[in-house]
Structure formats: C-alpha cells, structure tokens
Amino acid sequence: MSDSQIFTFGDPEPVLDGAIYDNLGAYLWDNGRYYETPVPLTGLARLLRANAYHGPALGFKTQQIMRGFHASNAVSRKAMKAMAKDYVVFENAYFQKIRNFIGEVVELKHLPAINMRRMKEPDTFCMLQIHGELLPFEQGEVLHIKSYDVSQTIYGLPEYLGAIQSMLLNEEATLFRRKYYRNGAHMGYVFNTTGNIDKDAQEQLKEKIKGTKGLGNFRSMYVHIPDGDKDSVRILPVGDFSTKDELEKIKNLSRDDIIAAHRMPPALACLIPQNQTGFGDIVKIDAVYQKNEIHPIQDELAEDINEVLVQRDRISFDRETDNQAV
C-alpha cells in the first residue's frame, strides 16, 4: 500500500454560480399566477459586487441620468433616482400610481424592480414578499418602464448580459491572486521526493509544507536526505501565477469588455491611460457621451412617466444646464 499523500487548499467562491441563460424566456410560475423573469434578478444584483468596474459603471450611469433632472409634485428626486438605478441594472422599473378622488395620478411611488412580477392578466403586477407570498396590485395601478427585448415582451433585458463571463472572469482572477498571497503552499507546483526518506521524515516534511500556508508565510525550506542524490527532491511547476503576467492580461481584457458593454468612454471610467497622449478632451468626451447615451435614456424615461401624469406634474431634464456642466 502506497504512503503517497495529496492535499489541496480549497476553491474560490464566485459571486454568481450557474448559467444565467438556463431559463431565457418569460414563463408562468406559481400555478400560472405570474411570469418569471428571463434571467434571475438576484443574480444580476449580485453581479454589481463581482468586480471593480461593473457596479460603479452602472452607478455612474444612474448619476448621469439624474443630471439636470427637475422633480415635480408627483415624482420626487429620490424616487426617480431609485427608478433610474433599477432601470440601468435590470432594464425594468416600476412606479405605483397614487390617484386623487377624481382619478388623476398625483404621485408615483417607487417599487423595487427585483421583487416585481407581471401577472397573467394584462397590465397587472404583483410584488414578491419575503416568505414567498404575493402582494397583488389592481389592474392599471403599476407603471412598468422597460426596454424592448426581441425574445419576449413581458420584461426588459439588460444589454450587458454578453459581458457576464468577462465580469466573472475578472472576479475569479482577483480571487485566485488573493488566495495565492494568503496561501504560500498554493498548488502551483508538485513537491516530489525520492530516495531514502523514512515515515517520520515524510510527516515532518508534510507538516513543514502545510506550515507555509497563511498570510505572510512565504518561507524557504531546508531538506536533507542522507542517501539521496541531486534528483531526490524536485519541484515540478504546474503554474506560477506570480512570475507571469496572466493576471494583468486577464484583468485588462475583462475590464475592457465590461466598459465596452456599458458603452462608457474609458476617460469617464476612471481608467489610467496607457499612452502619453491620454484620452483627449474630457469635456468633449462627456458631451458626446451625454448626447449619444444619456439623453436618449432620459427621453425614454420622461416619455413613459409623463404619459400618466397631468401637465402640471410632469418631469423634465434641463439640457442647457447639463451641457454646461463639466
């Protein structure tokens, strides 16, 4: 019976586990009472914390949408900002319509998109409660703002889904490097010994290797084999992440994918330019980003919101002030 022993130190835990495209499409759930979303919204929410770029990019876009916003008696700035954040993250946003005694909508109350579902009946929605119960709303009581999706017409679908693999790769590269630094006996090599090593010496050697595990414990080791030769101890590299540039390449490539998925100029993403010329005139870059990305979103949101409000309570965005901002 062989005395050979192998041990490892565990695996990283990713933010999002599982294939997000498994249930692409909107189907009736809970005995046909409501439509489930095409992708799990809790997974999209966890993605916000997966890396240093995705969440901040969506937060930045939310702030940009709120530039020049004029609140009204029906839509507060706080409610609008929460709705805008839901929209950029999920491409779905919801307001509850509060009406006066003559049926006019006098307030739009934000409803968290992560818990909202479209019911089987047209223009009827419900909110998922903490223990699985449904809180239904009256038909026409909820304003649903969504983007158009070519695969179904029940919910909107984020356009950044194609970059999810890059988001998770960026996270996993960071987790790997963290575990490398915290664990000096990482599986980056095979420590192979031959020659005359008794059982006690084997146990001592194993304990020494285990002892190098832990924060700040990269250590040198002395091994003596009385009857050994030059090949009695061999270090067989498997993959040394510390001496190559894989981390930098992975981080940079996945970062570029994430920034591109949000159609965000690198200059506005707080990236450090890799050349001496930089990114160019930041004011002009901001103006183009506002014109091509932010203003169309503001127009879509304002159109959907103002459609249910009376003239005196409609919202607007001050473009002149917005264009003067740096």
pLDDT digits over 244-274, tens only? 567 888 888 999 999 999 999 988 988 877 7
Q: What is the mean pLDDT of residues 302-306?
A: 97
Between residues 214 and 56, which one has the greater pLDDT?
A: 56
Q: Is 188's pLDDT higher than 80?
A: no
Task: Give 319 or 253, the one with higher predicted confidence.
Answer: 253
- Segment 297-319 shows an average pLDDT of 96
pLDDT at 15 over 90: no
Query: Would you list the domain boundaries of the chain?
Result: 25-159+281-326, 189-237
- For range 53-64, the mean pLDDT: 96
Percent of residues, the chain, with pLDDT higher than 90: 53
Instruction: Please give the average per-residue pLDDT across 53-67, as a whole number.
Output: 96
pLDDT at res. 13: 46
Amino acid at 242: S
136 compared with 17, residue with greater pLDDT: 136
Give me the pLDDT at residue 86, please: 98
**Quick one: average pLDDT of 178-206?**
65
Q: Exposed, middle or buried: residue 227 (CB in 10 Å: 0-12, 13-18, 19+)?
A: exposed
Looking at per-residue pLDDT, the higher value among 325 and 196 belongs to 196
pLDDT exceeds cutoff 70 at 91: yes
* Lowest-pLDDT range of 166-170, 231-235, 285-289: 231-235
Strand partners, 94: 111, 144
Is 3's pLDDT higher than 50? no
Instruction: Kindly state the average pLDDT of the residues 151-158.
Output: 93
Q: What is the pLDDT of residue 4?
A: 42
For residue 313, the model assigns a pLDDT of 96
Mean pLDDT of 114-132: 94
- The mean pLDDT of the chain is 82
Closest by CA position to 96, among listed 115, 82, 81, 110: 110
Write the CB contacts of 30 (distance below 8 Å, at least 6 apart in sequence): 134
Give yes or no for residue 161 having a pLDDT over 70.
yes
Q: What integer pLDDT is reported at residue 227 of this predicted model? A: 65
HEC letters along the chain: CCCCCCCCCCCCCCCCCCCCCCCCCCCEECCCCEECCCCCHHHHHHHCCCCCCHHHHHHHHHHHHHCCEECCCCCCHHHHHHHHHHHHHHCEEEEEEEECCCCCEEEEEEECHHHEEEECCCCCEEEECCCCCEEECCCCCEEEEECCECCECCCCCCHHHHHHHHHHHHHHHHHHHHHHHHECCCCCEEEEECCCCCHHHHHHHHHHHHHCECCCCCCCCCCCCCCCCCCCEEEEECCCCCCCCHHHHHHHHHHHHHHHHCCCCHHHHCCCCCCCCCCCCHHHHHHHHHHHHHHHHHHHHHHHHHCCCCHHHCCEECHHHHHHCC
pLDDT at 23: 52
Give the predicted TM-score (pTM) of the model: 0.75
pLDDT of residue 192: 61
pLDDT at 263: 93
Average pLDDT over residues 132-136: 90
